[in-house]
Amino acid sequence: MRRLLPLLLLLLGIALPAFAQSTSSPTQAFPYTLKTDKLPNGLTVVRVPYPSQGIVSYVTVVRVGSRNEVEAGKTGFAHFFEHMMFKGTPRHPEGERERILGTFGFDDNAFTTDDITLYYSYGPTAGLPQLIDIEADRFRNLEYSEPSFRTEALAVLGEYHKSAAAPFLKMEETLNAAAFTKHTYRHTTLGFYEDIKAMPEAYQYSRDFFQRWYTPDNTLLFIVGDFDDDQVMKLVRENYGPWDRKTSTITVPTEPPQTQPRNAHVDWPQPTQPRQVLAWHTPAASANTNNAAIQTVLVAYLVGPTSPAYKQLVLEQQLVESIGSDYVDHRDPHLFTLTATLKDERHRDRVRLALLREVSKVAAGKVDAARVKAIQDNARYGALMALQTPRDVGIQLGWYAGILGTPDGLQRHLAHLAKVTPAQLSEFTKRYLQASKLTQLSLTPKVDTAGGTK
Protein backbone atom coordinates (compact mmCIF):
# COMPACT_ATOMS: atom_id res chain seq x y z
CA MET A 1 0.00 0.00 0.00
CA ARG A 2 1.41 3.37 -0.92
CA ARG A 3 1.46 5.52 2.12
CA LEU A 4 2.57 8.53 0.11
CA LEU A 5 -0.70 8.65 -1.74
CA PRO A 6 -1.81 12.05 -0.49
CA LEU A 7 1.52 13.54 -1.46
CA LEU A 8 1.46 11.93 -4.90
CA LEU A 9 -2.02 13.22 -5.47
CA LEU A 10 -0.84 16.64 -4.54
CA LEU A 11 1.91 16.37 -7.13
CA LEU A 12 -0.52 15.31 -9.78
CA GLY A 13 -2.81 18.16 -8.87
CA ILE A 14 -5.87 15.99 -8.40
CA ALA A 15 -8.05 14.84 -5.54
CA LEU A 16 -6.92 17.52 -3.17
CA PRO A 17 -8.31 20.94 -3.98
CA ALA A 18 -6.28 22.30 -6.82
CA PHE A 19 -5.60 25.97 -6.36
CA ALA A 20 -3.46 28.47 -8.16
CA GLN A 21 -4.79 31.26 -6.04
CA SER A 22 -7.41 31.43 -3.36
CA THR A 23 -8.56 33.55 -0.45
CA SER A 24 -10.28 32.15 2.58
CA SER A 25 -12.47 34.34 4.73
CA PRO A 26 -12.36 34.69 8.51
CA THR A 27 -14.63 32.43 10.51
CA GLN A 28 -15.76 32.51 14.11
CA ALA A 29 -13.17 29.90 15.01
CA PHE A 30 -10.32 31.34 12.94
CA PRO A 31 -10.80 35.09 12.46
CA TYR A 32 -8.05 35.60 9.87
CA THR A 33 -7.86 35.71 6.09
CA LEU A 34 -5.58 33.36 4.16
CA LYS A 35 -4.31 34.47 0.77
CA THR A 36 -2.89 31.44 -0.94
CA ASP A 37 -0.86 31.16 -4.15
CA LYS A 38 0.92 28.24 -5.67
CA LEU A 39 4.07 29.03 -7.65
CA PRO A 40 4.69 27.16 -10.94
CA ASN A 41 7.35 25.06 -9.17
CA GLY A 42 4.76 23.78 -6.70
CA LEU A 43 5.61 25.94 -3.69
CA THR A 44 2.52 26.94 -1.73
CA VAL A 45 2.70 30.48 -0.35
CA VAL A 46 0.14 31.64 2.21
CA ARG A 47 -0.10 35.18 3.58
CA VAL A 48 -2.15 36.10 6.62
CA PRO A 49 -2.63 39.77 7.52
CA TYR A 50 -2.35 40.22 11.29
CA PRO A 51 -2.38 43.54 13.18
CA SER A 52 1.03 43.17 14.76
CA GLN A 53 2.52 46.66 14.24
CA GLY A 54 5.62 45.90 12.25
CA ILE A 55 6.14 42.31 13.41
CA VAL A 56 5.99 39.29 11.13
CA SER A 57 6.35 35.55 11.41
CA TYR A 58 7.73 33.49 8.57
CA VAL A 59 7.04 29.78 8.78
CA THR A 60 8.27 27.15 6.33
CA VAL A 61 6.95 23.64 6.74
CA VAL A 62 8.56 20.75 4.88
CA ARG A 63 6.60 17.53 4.76
CA VAL A 64 9.46 15.39 5.96
CA GLY A 65 9.98 13.87 9.39
CA SER A 66 11.23 10.70 11.01
CA ARG A 67 8.41 8.95 9.12
CA ASN A 68 10.55 9.31 5.96
CA GLU A 69 13.56 7.52 7.47
CA VAL A 70 13.20 4.17 5.72
CA GLU A 71 16.87 3.23 5.48
CA ALA A 72 18.35 1.13 8.27
CA GLY A 73 20.87 3.03 10.36
CA LYS A 74 19.59 6.43 9.28
CA THR A 75 16.94 7.12 11.90
CA GLY A 76 16.87 10.60 13.39
CA PHE A 77 18.05 12.14 10.16
CA ALA A 78 15.14 14.49 9.52
CA HIS A 79 15.83 16.06 12.89
CA PHE A 80 19.60 16.15 12.36
CA PHE A 81 19.05 17.69 8.97
CA GLU A 82 16.95 20.43 10.50
CA HIS A 83 20.11 21.41 12.37
CA MET A 84 22.15 21.40 9.17
CA MET A 85 19.71 23.77 7.45
CA PHE A 86 21.30 26.61 9.43
CA LYS A 87 24.80 25.96 8.10
CA GLY A 88 24.95 28.28 5.13
CA THR A 89 25.21 28.38 1.34
CA PRO A 90 27.91 29.46 -1.14
CA ARG A 91 26.34 32.93 -1.25
CA HIS A 92 25.67 33.14 2.49
CA PRO A 93 28.47 31.17 4.16
CA GLU A 94 28.16 29.81 7.65
CA GLY A 95 27.62 32.65 10.11
CA GLU A 96 26.15 35.10 7.67
CA ARG A 97 22.54 34.13 8.32
CA GLU A 98 23.08 35.04 11.92
CA ARG A 99 24.58 38.39 11.07
CA ILE A 100 21.82 39.30 8.62
CA LEU A 101 18.86 38.10 10.66
CA GLY A 102 20.50 38.96 13.96
CA THR A 103 20.78 42.59 12.99
CA PHE A 104 17.00 42.77 12.94
CA GLY A 105 16.48 40.69 16.07
CA PHE A 106 14.68 37.71 14.55
CA ASP A 107 13.90 34.74 16.73
CA ASP A 108 15.06 32.04 14.36
CA ASN A 109 14.44 28.40 15.13
CA ALA A 110 12.92 25.12 14.00
CA PHE A 111 11.53 21.82 15.19
CA THR A 112 11.06 18.35 13.76
CA THR A 113 8.32 15.81 14.40
CA ASP A 114 7.46 12.35 13.12
CA ASP A 115 5.87 13.90 10.02
CA ILE A 116 7.10 17.44 9.44
CA THR A 117 9.99 19.82 9.83
CA LEU A 118 8.97 23.37 10.63
CA TYR A 119 11.23 26.43 10.42
CA TYR A 120 10.19 29.78 11.80
CA SER A 121 11.63 33.27 11.95
CA TYR A 122 9.80 35.87 13.99
CA GLY A 123 10.73 39.52 14.12
CA PRO A 124 10.46 42.95 12.54
CA THR A 125 8.79 43.37 9.15
CA ALA A 126 11.70 45.66 8.26
CA GLY A 127 13.87 42.56 7.83
CA LEU A 128 11.46 40.69 5.59
CA PRO A 129 13.27 41.37 2.27
CA GLN A 130 16.54 40.06 3.69
CA LEU A 131 14.73 37.13 5.28
CA ILE A 132 13.07 36.10 2.02
CA ASP A 133 16.41 36.25 0.25
CA ILE A 134 18.30 34.18 2.79
CA GLU A 135 15.47 31.68 3.31
CA ALA A 136 15.02 30.98 -0.40
CA ASP A 137 18.78 30.67 -0.76
CA ARG A 138 19.13 28.03 1.92
CA PHE A 139 16.21 25.96 0.67
CA ARG A 140 17.66 26.06 -2.82
CA ASN A 141 21.40 25.99 -2.28
CA LEU A 142 22.28 24.64 1.15
CA GLU A 143 25.96 23.73 1.43
CA TYR A 144 28.07 22.78 4.42
CA SER A 145 31.42 21.17 5.08
CA GLU A 146 31.99 17.73 6.50
CA PRO A 147 33.75 19.06 9.64
CA SER A 148 30.77 21.32 10.30
CA PHE A 149 28.48 18.33 9.81
CA ARG A 150 30.49 16.18 12.20
CA THR A 151 30.47 18.86 14.87
CA GLU A 152 26.73 19.40 14.64
CA ALA A 153 26.17 15.68 15.09
CA LEU A 154 27.61 16.13 18.59
CA ALA A 155 25.06 18.85 19.38
CA VAL A 156 22.32 16.43 18.35
CA LEU A 157 23.82 13.81 20.65
CA GLY A 158 23.80 16.42 23.43
CA GLU A 159 20.13 17.01 22.72
CA TYR A 160 19.45 13.30 23.11
CA HIS A 161 21.35 13.18 26.41
CA LYS A 162 19.44 16.20 27.70
CA SER A 163 16.14 14.52 26.86
CA ALA A 164 17.19 11.17 28.31
CA ALA A 165 17.18 12.49 31.90
CA ALA A 166 13.40 12.16 32.13
CA PRO A 167 11.63 8.83 31.53
CA PHE A 168 9.47 10.06 28.64
CA LEU A 169 11.95 9.46 25.83
CA LYS A 170 12.59 5.89 26.96
CA MET A 171 8.85 5.32 27.28
CA GLU A 172 8.18 6.59 23.78
CA GLU A 173 11.02 4.47 22.37
CA THR A 174 9.70 1.37 24.12
CA LEU A 175 6.07 1.94 23.18
CA ASN A 176 6.85 2.61 19.52
CA ALA A 177 9.06 -0.46 19.27
CA ALA A 178 6.26 -2.61 20.70
CA ALA A 179 3.38 -1.10 18.75
CA PHE A 180 5.07 -0.86 15.33
CA THR A 181 6.80 -3.76 13.66
CA LYS A 182 7.30 -2.39 10.11
CA HIS A 183 6.32 1.27 9.85
CA THR A 184 8.96 3.95 10.45
CA TYR A 185 6.96 5.22 13.42
CA ARG A 186 8.82 2.40 15.16
CA HIS A 187 11.53 4.92 16.00
CA THR A 188 11.12 8.33 17.61
CA THR A 189 11.87 11.65 15.95
CA LEU A 190 15.26 11.77 17.65
CA GLY A 191 16.06 8.32 16.24
CA PHE A 192 17.73 5.26 17.68
CA TYR A 193 20.60 6.10 20.04
CA GLU A 194 23.03 3.92 18.07
CA ASP A 195 22.11 5.75 14.86
CA ILE A 196 22.61 9.15 16.51
CA LYS A 197 26.07 8.12 17.62
CA ALA A 198 26.86 7.06 14.04
CA MET A 199 25.61 10.30 12.48
CA PRO A 200 29.03 11.94 11.98
CA GLU A 201 29.81 9.29 9.33
CA ALA A 202 26.76 10.05 7.16
CA TYR A 203 27.82 13.23 5.36
CA GLN A 204 26.96 12.07 1.83
CA TYR A 205 23.63 10.70 2.95
CA SER A 206 22.74 14.10 4.37
CA ARG A 207 23.34 15.70 0.96
CA ASP A 208 21.02 13.15 -0.62
CA PHE A 209 18.43 13.80 2.05
CA PHE A 210 18.34 17.47 1.11
CA GLN A 211 17.93 16.76 -2.59
CA ARG A 212 15.26 14.22 -1.89
CA TRP A 213 12.92 16.13 0.41
CA TYR A 214 13.71 19.83 0.39
CA THR A 215 11.75 20.55 -2.74
CA PRO A 216 9.19 23.26 -3.53
CA ASP A 217 6.38 20.77 -4.11
CA ASN A 218 6.98 19.33 -0.62
CA THR A 219 7.03 22.70 1.14
CA LEU A 220 4.50 25.29 2.30
CA LEU A 221 5.36 28.85 3.30
CA PHE A 222 3.27 30.94 5.70
CA ILE A 223 3.85 34.66 6.21
CA VAL A 224 1.79 36.14 9.02
CA GLY A 225 1.74 39.71 10.25
CA ASP A 226 1.96 43.31 9.19
CA PHE A 227 3.46 43.63 5.65
CA ASP A 228 2.76 44.76 2.09
CA ASP A 229 1.37 41.75 0.28
CA ASP A 230 2.26 42.79 -3.28
CA GLN A 231 5.83 43.61 -2.34
CA VAL A 232 6.26 40.38 -0.42
CA MET A 233 4.82 38.21 -3.20
CA LYS A 234 7.11 39.90 -5.73
CA LEU A 235 10.13 39.02 -3.60
CA VAL A 236 8.87 35.50 -2.96
CA ARG A 237 8.40 34.85 -6.68
CA GLU A 238 11.82 36.26 -7.54
CA ASN A 239 13.66 34.34 -4.84
CA TYR A 240 11.82 31.04 -4.71
CA GLY A 241 10.77 30.86 -8.38
CA PRO A 242 14.02 29.24 -9.63
CA TRP A 243 13.85 26.48 -6.98
CA ASP A 244 13.19 23.49 -9.20
CA ARG A 245 13.67 20.11 -7.56
CA LYS A 246 10.95 17.49 -7.40
CA THR A 247 10.20 15.51 -4.29
CA SER A 248 11.18 11.86 -4.09
CA THR A 249 8.82 9.03 -3.57
CA ILE A 250 9.57 6.34 -1.06
CA THR A 251 7.52 3.51 0.21
CA VAL A 252 6.98 3.80 3.91
CA PRO A 253 6.28 0.24 5.04
CA THR A 254 2.65 -0.34 5.93
CA GLU A 255 2.09 -1.48 9.48
CA PRO A 256 0.30 -4.82 9.43
CA PRO A 257 -2.88 -4.93 11.52
CA GLN A 258 -2.32 -5.80 15.16
CA THR A 259 -4.32 -8.88 16.05
CA GLN A 260 -3.28 -9.60 19.63
CA PRO A 261 -2.81 -7.40 22.69
CA ARG A 262 0.81 -6.49 23.38
CA ASN A 263 2.66 -5.45 26.50
CA ALA A 264 5.87 -3.58 27.05
CA HIS A 265 7.65 -2.58 30.21
CA VAL A 266 10.34 -0.16 31.33
CA ASP A 267 12.29 -0.50 34.54
CA TRP A 268 13.45 3.02 35.32
CA PRO A 269 16.62 3.05 37.40
CA GLN A 270 15.80 6.24 39.28
CA PRO A 271 13.03 7.52 41.52
CA THR A 272 9.97 8.39 39.49
CA GLN A 273 6.24 7.85 39.54
CA PRO A 274 4.97 4.55 38.14
CA ARG A 275 3.29 5.11 34.80
CA GLN A 276 0.76 3.34 32.63
CA VAL A 277 0.05 3.90 28.95
CA LEU A 278 -2.74 2.36 26.87
CA ALA A 279 -2.16 2.69 23.13
CA TRP A 280 -4.44 1.60 20.30
CA HIS A 281 -3.71 1.68 16.59
CA THR A 282 -5.97 4.30 15.02
CA PRO A 283 -6.35 5.94 11.59
CA ALA A 284 -4.27 8.79 10.27
CA ALA A 285 -5.24 12.42 10.23
CA SER A 286 -6.32 13.57 6.79
CA ALA A 287 -7.88 16.66 5.27
CA ASN A 288 -11.02 14.88 4.13
CA THR A 289 -11.95 12.72 7.11
CA ASN A 290 -12.84 13.60 10.66
CA ASN A 291 -10.62 10.89 12.17
CA ALA A 292 -8.27 13.44 13.75
CA ALA A 293 -11.14 15.55 15.07
CA ILE A 294 -12.81 12.50 16.60
CA GLN A 295 -9.60 11.50 18.36
CA THR A 296 -9.04 15.06 19.62
CA VAL A 297 -12.54 15.13 21.10
CA LEU A 298 -12.15 11.60 22.45
CA VAL A 299 -9.04 12.57 24.42
CA ALA A 300 -10.93 15.35 26.17
CA TYR A 301 -14.00 13.12 26.61
CA LEU A 302 -12.12 10.21 28.20
CA VAL A 303 -9.38 11.90 30.22
CA GLY A 304 -9.89 15.67 30.02
CA PRO A 305 -10.33 17.80 33.15
CA THR A 306 -14.12 17.36 33.12
CA SER A 307 -14.13 13.61 32.45
CA PRO A 308 -15.51 11.12 34.99
CA ALA A 309 -12.10 9.38 34.98
CA TYR A 310 -10.39 12.63 35.98
CA LYS A 311 -12.89 13.32 38.73
CA GLN A 312 -12.66 9.78 40.02
CA LEU A 313 -8.95 8.95 39.70
CA VAL A 314 -7.37 12.38 40.16
CA LEU A 315 -9.73 14.29 42.44
CA GLU A 316 -11.79 11.83 44.47
CA GLN A 317 -9.70 8.70 44.91
CA GLN A 318 -6.37 10.45 44.31
CA LEU A 319 -4.87 7.30 42.83
CA VAL A 320 -2.99 9.20 40.13
CA GLU A 321 -1.13 12.48 39.87
CA SER A 322 -2.53 12.99 36.42
CA ILE A 323 -4.18 11.31 33.49
CA GLY A 324 -3.98 12.41 29.89
CA SER A 325 -3.01 11.42 26.40
CA ASP A 326 -0.04 11.77 24.08
CA TYR A 327 -2.26 11.62 21.03
CA VAL A 328 -0.84 13.73 18.18
CA ASP A 329 -2.23 13.92 14.65
CA HIS A 330 -0.10 11.88 12.24
CA ARG A 331 0.09 11.47 8.48
CA ASP A 332 -0.11 7.69 8.70
CA PRO A 333 -2.07 5.53 11.13
CA HIS A 334 -0.53 6.00 14.53
CA LEU A 335 -1.63 5.56 18.15
CA PHE A 336 -4.44 6.83 20.31
CA THR A 337 -3.12 6.83 23.86
CA LEU A 338 -4.37 7.21 27.39
CA THR A 339 -1.74 7.86 30.04
CA ALA A 340 -1.69 7.76 33.82
CA THR A 341 0.96 8.94 36.22
CA LEU A 342 0.36 6.78 39.29
CA LYS A 343 0.98 7.63 42.89
CA ASP A 344 1.56 4.02 43.89
CA GLU A 345 2.40 0.85 42.00
CA ARG A 346 -0.30 -1.00 43.91
CA HIS A 347 -3.05 0.93 42.15
CA ARG A 348 -1.88 0.15 38.64
CA ASP A 349 -4.58 -2.39 37.76
CA ARG A 350 -7.32 -0.40 39.38
CA VAL A 351 -6.42 2.66 37.32
CA ARG A 352 -5.91 0.69 34.13
CA LEU A 353 -9.29 -1.00 34.45
CA ALA A 354 -11.01 2.28 35.29
CA LEU A 355 -9.70 3.80 32.06
CA LEU A 356 -10.73 0.74 30.06
CA ARG A 357 -14.20 0.96 31.60
CA GLU A 358 -14.58 4.51 30.32
CA VAL A 359 -13.57 3.32 26.84
CA SER A 360 -16.11 0.50 27.04
CA LYS A 361 -18.89 2.91 27.96
CA VAL A 362 -18.25 5.00 24.88
CA ALA A 363 -18.02 1.91 22.69
CA ALA A 364 -21.40 0.81 24.08
CA GLY A 365 -22.95 4.08 22.95
CA LYS A 366 -23.12 5.76 26.35
CA VAL A 367 -21.96 9.21 25.34
CA ASP A 368 -22.96 12.40 27.15
CA ALA A 369 -23.95 14.86 24.41
CA ALA A 370 -23.65 17.86 26.72
CA ARG A 371 -20.03 16.99 27.46
CA VAL A 372 -19.29 16.66 23.74
CA LYS A 373 -20.72 20.12 23.17
CA ALA A 374 -18.62 21.54 26.02
CA ILE A 375 -15.52 19.99 24.44
CA GLN A 376 -16.40 21.60 21.12
CA ASP A 377 -16.88 24.98 22.81
CA ASN A 378 -13.53 24.52 24.52
CA ALA A 379 -11.90 23.70 21.18
CA ARG A 380 -13.38 26.73 19.44
CA TYR A 381 -12.57 29.25 22.15
CA GLY A 382 -9.27 27.54 22.90
CA ALA A 383 -8.18 28.02 19.31
CA LEU A 384 -8.97 31.73 19.54
CA MET A 385 -7.14 32.04 22.86
CA ALA A 386 -4.09 30.23 21.53
CA LEU A 387 -3.47 32.63 18.65
CA GLN A 388 -1.92 35.55 20.53
CA THR A 389 0.89 36.47 18.14
CA PRO A 390 1.81 36.08 14.46
CA ARG A 391 4.20 33.36 15.62
CA ASP A 392 1.36 31.39 17.18
CA VAL A 393 -0.75 31.73 14.04
CA GLY A 394 2.10 30.79 11.70
CA ILE A 395 3.15 27.72 13.65
CA GLN A 396 -0.40 26.45 14.05
CA LEU A 397 -1.12 26.93 10.35
CA GLY A 398 2.17 25.33 9.37
CA TRP A 399 1.67 22.36 11.67
CA TYR A 400 -1.76 21.42 10.33
CA ALA A 401 -0.81 22.18 6.74
CA GLY A 402 2.21 19.91 7.07
CA ILE A 403 0.26 17.03 8.54
CA LEU A 404 -2.81 17.33 6.32
CA GLY A 405 -1.07 18.42 3.09
CA THR A 406 -3.29 21.42 2.48
CA PRO A 407 -2.68 25.07 3.38
CA ASP A 408 -6.04 25.39 5.12
CA GLY A 409 -5.45 22.36 7.33
CA LEU A 410 -6.06 24.25 10.56
CA GLN A 411 -9.42 25.60 9.41
CA ARG A 412 -10.45 22.17 8.19
CA HIS A 413 -9.48 20.65 11.49
CA LEU A 414 -11.50 23.26 13.40
CA ALA A 415 -14.48 22.70 11.09
CA HIS A 416 -14.25 18.93 11.61
CA LEU A 417 -14.09 19.40 15.38
CA ALA A 418 -17.33 21.37 15.38
CA LYS A 419 -19.15 18.55 13.62
CA VAL A 420 -18.17 15.54 15.70
CA THR A 421 -21.24 13.75 17.04
CA PRO A 422 -21.67 11.45 20.04
CA ALA A 423 -22.54 8.63 17.64
CA GLN A 424 -19.27 9.10 15.76
CA LEU A 425 -17.30 8.93 19.01
CA SER A 426 -19.02 5.72 19.86
CA GLU A 427 -18.56 4.15 16.42
CA PHE A 428 -14.90 5.09 16.30
CA THR A 429 -14.24 3.71 19.77
CA LYS A 430 -16.02 0.47 19.01
CA ARG A 431 -14.11 0.04 15.79
CA TYR A 432 -10.60 0.99 16.83
CA LEU A 433 -10.18 0.91 20.61
CA GLN A 434 -10.37 -2.87 20.73
CA ALA A 435 -8.33 -5.19 22.90
CA SER A 436 -6.66 -6.77 19.89
CA LYS A 437 -5.25 -3.42 18.78
CA LEU A 438 -4.04 -2.42 22.25
CA THR A 439 -0.44 -2.12 23.42
CA GLN A 440 0.04 -1.50 27.13
CA LEU A 441 3.18 0.08 28.46
CA SER A 442 4.09 0.13 32.11
CA LEU A 443 6.99 1.88 33.82
CA THR A 444 8.18 1.06 37.30
CA PRO A 445 10.99 2.72 39.20
CA LYS A 446 13.67 0.21 40.20
CA VAL A 447 15.93 1.93 42.65
CA ASP A 448 18.41 0.37 45.01
CA THR A 449 18.69 1.79 48.49
CA ALA A 450 21.88 3.64 47.65
CA GLY A 451 20.05 5.82 45.19
CA GLY A 452 20.24 3.76 42.05
CA THR A 453 23.45 5.16 40.74
CA LYS A 454 25.54 2.07 40.14
358-387 positions binding another protein, by CB under 8 A: 373-375, 377-386
Residues 141-160 that bind another protein (CB under 8 A): 146-148, 150-155, 158-159
Closest to another protein by CB, 51 vs 257, is: 51
CB of 54 to another protein, least distance (A): 8
Rounded Cα distance, 298 and 353, in Å: 18
Per-residue three-class SS string for 32-80: CCEEEEECCCCCEEEEEECCCCCEEEEEEEECCCHHHCCCCCCCCHHHH
- Give the shortest CB-411-to-another protein separation in angstroms: 12
Helix boundaries (H) for 285-408: 291-303, 308-309, 348-363, 369-386, 390-404
What phi and psi values does residue 279 have, to the nearest 5 degrees?
-135, 120
Say whether residue 12 binds another protein (CB under 8 A): no
By beta-carbon proximity to another protein, the closer residue of 95 and 242 is 95
Cβ atoms of residues 348 and 443 within 8 Å: no
Q: How far is the CB of 39 from another protein (least distance, A)?
A: 27
Q: Does 272 bind another protein (CB under 8 A)?
A: yes
Long-range contacts of 358-366 (CB under 8 A, 24+ apart): 358/302, 358/303, 358/307, 358/308, 358/309, 359/302, 359/429, 359/433, 362/298, 362/301, 362/302, 362/425, 362/426, 362/429, 362/433, 363/426, 363/429, 363/430, 363/433, 364/426, 365/423, 365/426, 366/426
59 binds another protein (CB under 8 A): no
**Whole-angstrom Cα Rg for the chain:** 23
**Number of C-beta neighbours around residue 354 at 10 A:** 19
* SS3 call for 336: strand
For another protein, the closer CB: 159 or 427? 159
Closer residue to another protein (CB): 39 or 171: 171
State the number of binding residues for another protein (CB under 8 A): 113
* The only residue of 39, 43, 171, 278 in contact with another protein, by rule CB under 8 A: 171
Q: Among the candidate windows 1-9, 124-132, 226-234, 422-430, which touches another protein by CB under 8 A?
A: 124-132
CB of 302 to another protein, least distance (A): 11
Give burial (CB, 10 Å; 0-12/13-18/19+) of 343: middle
Q: Specify whether the CB–CB gap between 39 and 237 falls below 8 A.
A: yes
95: left (phi over 0), alpha (psi -120 to 50) or beta: left
19 vs 203 by CB, closer to another protein: 203
Q: Which is nearer to another protein, 38 or 275 (CB)?
A: 275
Taking the complex as a whole, how short is the minimal distance between the CB of residue 246 and another protein, in angstroms? 26
Per-residue contact string for residues 194-233; x = within reach of another protein by CB under 8 A:
------x---------------------------------
Options 9-17, 246-254, 335-343, 347-355: segment touching another protein (CB under 8 A): 335-343
State which residue, 39 or 314, has the beta carbon closest to another protein: 314
Write out the binding residues for another protein, residues 62-101 only, by CB under 8 A.
79, 82-88, 93-99
Give 265's strand partners: 442
Shortest reach from residue 121's CB to another protein, in Å: 11
DSSP letter (8 states) at residue 18: P
291-330 positions binding another protein, by CB under 8 A: 296, 299, 303-306, 310-311, 314-315, 318, 321-328
Residue 177 in contact with another protein, rule: CB under 8 A: no
User: What is the x/- site pattern for another protein, positions 32-51, by CB under 8 A?
Assistant: -------------------x
Of 39 and 278, which CB lies nearer to another protein in the complex structure?
278
Is residue 375 within 8 A of residue 299, CB to CB? The reply is: no
